[in-house]
Chains A and B, each alone.
Chain A
Amino acid sequence: MSAATVTLEVARYRPEREASPCFEAYEVPLRNDWTVLDALNHIKDTADGSLSFRWSCRMGVCGSCGMKVNGEPKLTCGTFLSDCLPGPIRVEPLDYFPVIRDLVVDITDFMKKLRKVKPWIIRKQEKPTSQGEYLQTPDQLDAYKPFSMCINCLLCYSACPIYGLEPSFIGPAALALAQRYNQDSRDEGSAERLGIVSEHDGIWQCTFVGECSKVCPKNVDPAGAIQQYKLTVAARWFRSLLLPKGAH
Chain B
Amino acid sequence: MELLSCDVLVVGGGGAGLRAAIAAVEADPSQSVAVISKVYPMRSHTVSAEGGAAAVIKGADSLDDHAYDTISGGDWLSDQDAVEAFVREAPQEMVRVEHWGCPWSRDPDGHIAVRPFGGMKVERTWFAADKTGFHMLHALFQTSLKYEGIRRFDECFVTGLLVDDGRCQGVVAIEIATGKVLAIAAKAVILCTGGCGKVFPFTTNANIKNGDGMALAYRAGAPLKDMEFVQYHPTGLPFTGILITEAARSEGGWLLNKDGYRYLQDYDLGKPEHRPVLRSMELGPRDRLSQAFVKEQEKGRTFSGPYGDYVHLDVRHLGANVIDKKIPFVRELCLKYQNIDPVREMIPVRPVVHYMMGGISTDIHGATPLPGLYAAGEAACVSINGANRLGSNSLTELLVFGARAGRSAVAFAAGQKLPGPALGALAHDEEVRLHGTFRRSRGGERVATLRAEMQKATEESAGIYRSEGLLKKGAETLGKLQERFSHLSLEDQSYTFNTELTAAQELSFMLDVAEAIVHSALARRESRGSHQRTDYPARDDEKFLRHSLAFRSASGPPRIEYLPVTITRWPPGRRVYGKSA
Contacts and interface: CB of A to CB of B under 8 A. Distances in A.
Chief secondary structure at chain B's binding surface: loop
A33 interface: yes
B48 interface: yes
B101 interface: yes
B110 A52 contact: no
B333 interface: yes
B110 to A, nearest CB: 3
A150 to B, nearest CB: 8
Contacts of B45: 56-57, 62
Interface string B488-509: 0011101111111000000000
A120 B103 CA distance: 12
A204 interface: no
A101 B499 CA distance: 10
A107 B40 contact: yes
A62 B492 contact: no
B99 A136 contact: no
Contacts of A25: none
A106 B177 contact: yes
A134 to B, nearest CB: 7
Interface string A11-27: 00011110000000000
B569 interface: no
Given A64-B43, A148-B135, A132 B95 contact: yes
Contacts of A56: 39, 43, 45, 206-208
A127 B99 contact: yes
B142 A58 contact: no
Contact of B495 (A16, A55, A111): A16
Contact of B240 (A58, A63, A111): A58
A60 to B, nearest CB: 7
A151 interface: yes
Nearest to A186: B101
B447 A129 contact: no
Given A50-B492, A50-B494, A104-B497, A120 B47 contact: no
A1 B429 CA distance: 54
A33 B497 contact: no
Contacts of A247: none
Task: Count chain B CB atoms within 10 A of each CB in A33, A45, A58, A59 and give the residue with the most.
Answer: A59
Contacts of B338: 33
Interface in B108-145: 108-112, 131, 134-135, 138, 142-143, 145
Contacts of B491: 48-50
Interface in A190-231: none
Contact of B101 (A45, A60, A121, A126): A121
Interface stretch (A137-145, A159-167, A234-242): A137-145
Contacts of A138: 105-106, 108
B244 to A, nearest CB: 11
A48 B336 CA distance: 28
Contacts of B206: 56-58, 62
Contact of B104 (A16, A50, A61, A133): A133
B100 interface: yes
Interface string A73-95: 00000100000000000000000
B337 interface: yes
A115 interface: yes
B446 interface: yes
B435 interface: no
Chief secondary structure at chain A's binding surface: loop
Task: Count chain B CB atoms within 10 A of each CB in A44, A78, A126, A140 and give the residue with the most.
Answer: A44
A46 interface: yes
Contact of A33 (B134, B239, B446, B447): B239
Given A121-B99, A127-B99, A53 B499 contact: yes
A129 B337 contact: no
B207 A55 contact: yes
B96 interface: yes
A63 B447 contact: no
A181 interface: yes
Given A49-B490, A57-B47, A78-B336, A129 B99 contact: yes
Given A49-B447, A59-B242, A61-B48, A126 B99 contact: yes
B448 A59 contact: no
B274 interface: no
Contacts of A132: 57, 95
Contact of B500 (A16, A49, A126, A184): A49
B131 A61 contact: yes
Interface residues of B, number: 60
Contacts of A144: 103
Interface in B164-220: 177, 206-208
A134 B104 CA distance: 11
A45 B504 CA distance: 12
Nearest to A53: B499
B92 interface: yes
Contacts of A119: 142, 145
A182 B111 CA distance: 21
B468 interface: no
B50 to A, nearest CB: 9
Contacts of A55: 207
B42 interface: yes
A4 interface: no
A28 interface: no
A59 B500 CA distance: 22
Interface string A148-161: 11111000000000
Contacts of A177: 142
A115 B207 CA distance: 27
Contacts of B105: 138, 141
A152 B100 contact: no
Contacts of B138: 148, 150
B110 A137 contact: yes
A130 B92 contact: yes
A246 to B, nearest CB: 29
A57 B241 CA distance: 11
A115 B99 CA distance: 19
Contacts of B64: none
A56 B109 CA distance: 38
B299 interface: no
A172 B104 CA distance: 25
Nearest to A115: B145
B447 A136 contact: no
Contact of B106 (A59, A60, A102, A141): A141
A235 B146 CA distance: 29
Nearest to B134: A61
A120 B145 contact: yes
29 contacts: A14-B494, A16-B496, A33-B337, A45-B448, A46-B448, A49-B448, A49-B492, A50-B500, A52-B492, A52-B498, A52-B500, A57-B48, A58-B240, A59-B240, A62-B42, A62-B206, A114-B142, A119-B142, A119-B145, A121-B143, A133-B111, A137-B108, A141-B106, A145-B103, A148-B103, A149-B131, A151-B47, A177-B142, A186-B101
Instruction: State the 9 A-B residue pairs at the shortest beta-carbon distance, nearest first.
Output: A135-B110, A50-B492, A45-B448, A49-B491, A101-B497, A56-B206, A119-B142, A57-B206, A121-B101
Interface of B: 39-40, 42-45, 47-48, 57, 92, 95-96, 98-101, 103-106, 108-112, 131, 134-135, 138, 142-143, 145-146, 154, 177, 206-208, 239-240, 242, 332-333, 336-339, 446-448, 490-492, 494-500
